[in-house]
Amino acid sequence: MAMKSKAPTTVNGITAIGLDPGFGNTSVCLAGRVGTIQSAVSIPRQTGLAALGMKSAGRRAKIVTMSNGAQYAVGEGAAAKGTLKTSMDYSALASPERRALMYAAFAEALDGGVLSDSSEVLLAIGLPVPLLQDEQQAQVVLDGLKQLKGSHEFSIGDRVHRLTVAKIKGLAQPAGTYINYAYDDALNPVPGVNKSEVLVLDIGMNTLDIYVLQNGQVLDSFVGGDEVGVKRLLELLATNGRDIMELDVLLRHGTLKLEAAQLDGYLGEVLAAIKQTAPNLRRFDVVIPCGGGAQVLGDRLKFALLSKGAKVEWPALPIETNVRGFWKYGMLHAK
């Protein structure tokens, strides 16, 4: 749900949009407002009047119509509208399916408003640390993201949206949380933050990204990550034929019953991955957990970090903090 804010909308005539193309959630931030949608996408099956007199299980999905007429069902309910086409391959970030997710999240962040067709958009995109560590693969993905430059037109329901992406800035996903922590919504630096060594633990659907920054600079010795995202927890469960994204919906709604032993086992994997890159949490001035995994583990993760001496700063909205930082990054680089 989009959040209201008095944040600035443009700088020097440039509109910044933050994009977090996560494998669990796709989030967009525009003028401090965030739109988030589950990263599930399918091509809707045409079933005529087969559902006559009944409610559709996929009614929560948003139907995105592309400029070429192609349609995609996205978000919760997408699995009930057709076969899921969700890809967890980094090279697919500029694919039509991922664009449909971006468009739906953009419409949520716009919250019924209209973006001027004349607006010059700077798109700030967060990318996973394990991807960026592989320089060759990262360059292929960055080159692919250039396809997002230019004009975009799509519709959701009877509302047509248009935007033109003039510039693209890429940055590591956990850097968004640091930027969101270091700058307020009016883009003013928070006093004293530049002296702090800040550890960000970003637990997404696919990966745990570990990142340390001080005064806006990355400490290379504490950059790392592992594939122990929420998907790892879901894979530990008996799927009974369900796709990971279907299990994710049940998890979001609290209907997926997780035993304490399963959560503790998953937490153990996360802590082991953190220890490989940051063995002593006491040295950091601030430790910020974020992402869907932080939300799932909640107090289990918080108390485990505190017990290891970490000075934990828990975000009010762990899933949104990265994309808010991407938007602020875009605004700061538009000046």
Structural domains present in the chain: 10-47+57-174+321-334 (3.30.420.40), 190-307 (3.30.420.40)
pLDDT at 60: 84
pLDDT at 58: 61
pLDDT of 239 higher than 90: no
pLDDT of 113 higher than 90: no
Identify the residue with better confidence: 60 or 217: 217
pLDDT at 118: 57
pLDDT at 57: 53
Q: How confident is the model at residue 56 (pLDDT cuts 50, 70, 90)?
A: low
Q: How confident is the model at residue 112 (pLDDT cuts 50, 70, 90)?
A: low
pLDDT of 227 higher than 60: yes
Neighbouring CB atoms inside 10 A of 327's CB total: 31
pLDDT at 55: 56
pLDDT at 7: 60
pLDDT of 3 higher than 70: no
Q: How confident is the model at residue 124 (pLDDT cuts 50, 70, 90)?
A: very high
Mean pLDDT of 254-273: 93
Q: Going by C-beta distance under 8 Å and a sequence separation of 6 or more, which residues neighbour residue 107?
A: 35, 62, 156, 159, 161
pLDDT of 1 higher than 60: no
Candidate from 36-45, 81-90, 181-190, 213-222 with smallest mean pLDDT: 81-90
pLDDT at 6: 54
Identify the residue with better confidence: 83 or 312: 312
Q: What is the pTM of this model?
A: 0.91
pLDDT at 210: 96
Q: How confident is the model at residue 335 (pLDDT cuts 50, 70, 90)?
A: low
pLDDT at 115: 67
Mean pLDDT of the chain: 89
Q: How confident is the model at residue 157 (pLDDT cuts 50, 70, 90)?
A: confident
Identify the residue with better confidence: 4 or 121: 121
pLDDT at 33: 93
Mean pLDDT of 37-49: 81
